[in-house]
Amino acid sequence: MKLVPYWRDTAPEFLGTEKGPVEGDHDVAVVGGGFTGLSAAITLARKGASVVLLEADRLGGCASGRNGGMCNNGFAQDYAGMVGKLGAETSLRLYQSFNTAVDTVEQLIREESIDCNFQRVGKLKMAAKPAHYDKLARSHALMVQGADPEARLVSRADMGVEVGTERYFGGLIFPRSAQMHMGKYVHGLATAAARHGARLYDNSPVTGIKRLNGQAHRLTTPRGSVNARQVLLATGTSAVGPLSWFRRRIVPVGAFLIVTEPLSKDQLDAIVPGRRNATDTRNFVSYFRVTPDNRLLFGGRARFAGSNASSDVKSGTILRRSMIEIFPSLSNTRIDYCWGGMVDMTADRLPRAGEREGLFYSMGYSGHGTHMATYMGQIMSEVMDGNTRANPWGDFDWPAIPGHFGPTWFLPFVGAYYKLQDYLH
């Protein structure tokens, strides 16, 4: 079993990063080499800007390359609940931005000829309890009025067409959702950014940001410094650099995944005949999909803990047990990959983007980052050109999380709370 992301191990390595010192004057410096940063670098470079991108690790090495390979439209939360909280008009507008984000991914893949196994397979959200199906039905009744007219309910009696388990009590299909190979997508984005003229540096953590005059900044790394007229922070859960204001507003939560050995068509037909992305309604969520080479990727929260080799193995054991509970036929199936990553959760599980003290930022995607990050990379290039109305998250305030100053000492307590909620509700 390999303790590396399947996406990294089965994608070509990008060899176009800069090898020399970090130096020079640029129109824009992008901090972070995930989907937000790479998408922004492409868009800005297309506009003719001089772009430098600084990544602390490897390009796509953090959340962007460690997820479940899903490109799901819709909120992480219940749509009816969002309408109750934000109102019908705002909920519809935000939901449509997630729809547009999936379209943006597809368009960018087409424009840049990225080979990453993109498919519109749809998402199946599965009700873990009968009451959860009632909640999905309430959301569906509102969604079809404009947010997602093609969404459809699946009764418990009809779930066998979609998934080979009797564990769930019905579901809701989001037909616009897609999936792809995340490692190949990262490689394609990086290739496109470099082709359009962006200078990409990996292993270059930003350790200092100093405002020079007006809006310009100097960014310092162990490999040197650059000056930039504008700066975009696309850092997610990064613990590196002077980002304490953002760290107080984001909780890094571990997400863990396993991938099986290749399965036969008969095996896959028995457990996932619909071949959709699938996720359930629990707080300790389980989700799964089929990879391009016919393996089952199975992920979930498993534990409210950080990601490291020891934690990943412990979480992988929990995930394997959950997978077998759902699909007993896989009890003797070999696990070939196990890894973890950190999700940048906000308190309300909605992204945040805007400008603070001359620094532009977009982050906090809360588990729905693949498409929203790609979309917001493009949107922030418009915001940086002065079109602030393009930002769907511009009107949201972002208070600090009480008691949170960086280290996530409270995660075990949060995990205990959500486990209790899963038991009670």
Which CATH fold would you assign to the domain 6-411?
A: FAD/NAD(P)-binding domain (3.50.50)
Task: List the beta strands (DSSP E) in 199-334.
Answer: 199-201, 208-211, 217-221, 224-233, 251-260, 277-280, 286-290, 296-300
Q: For strands 224-233 and 217-221, give the pairing.
A: antiparallel
Query: Which residues make beta-bridge pairs with 353?
Result: 362
Show pLDDT as tens, one digit a residue, over the chain (425 residues): 999 999 999 999 999 999 999 999 999 999 999 999 999 999 999 999 999 999 999 999 999 999 999 999 988 889 999 999 999 999 999 999 999 999 999 999 999 999 999 999 999 999 999 999 999 999 999 999 999 999 999 999 999 999 999 999 999 999 999 999 999 999 999 999 999 999 999 999 999 999 998 779 999 999 999 999 999 999 988 888 899 999 999 988 888 999 999 999 999 999 999 999 999 999 788 999 999 999 999 998 766 666 778 888 999 999 999 999 999 999 999 999 999 988 888 999 999 999 999 999 999 998 888 999 999 999 999 999 999 999 999 999 999 988 887 666 666 666 665 566 776 67
Measured CA to CA, the distance from residue 164 to residue 329 in angstroms comes to: 10
The reported pTM is 0.95
Q: Which pLDDT value is given to residue 284?
A: 82
Q: How far apart are CA 303 and CA 306, in angstroms?
A: 9
Q: Which residues make Cβ contacts (< 8 Å) with residue 385, sequence separation at least 6?
A: 47
The pLDDT of residue 403 is: 83
pLDDT score recorded for residue 213: 83
Q: What is the model's pLDDT at position 262?
A: 98
Of residues 227, 274, 293, the one with CA closest to residue 54: 227
Cα distances (angstroms) measured from residue 198 to each of 31, 186, 203, 371, 414? 13, 15, 16, 21, 41
Q: How many CB atoms lie within 10 A of CB 2?
A: 13
Task: Identify the pLDDT of residue 410.
Answer: 62
Going by the DSSP 8-state scheme, the letter that residue 2 receives in this structure is B
CA distances from residue 277 to 172, 210, 273, 274, 298 in whole angstroms, order as listed: 12, 44, 11, 9, 10
Q: Tell me, what's the pLDDT at 236? A: 87
The pLDDT, as a whole number, for residue 341 is 87
Q: Domain ranges in the chain?
A: 6-411
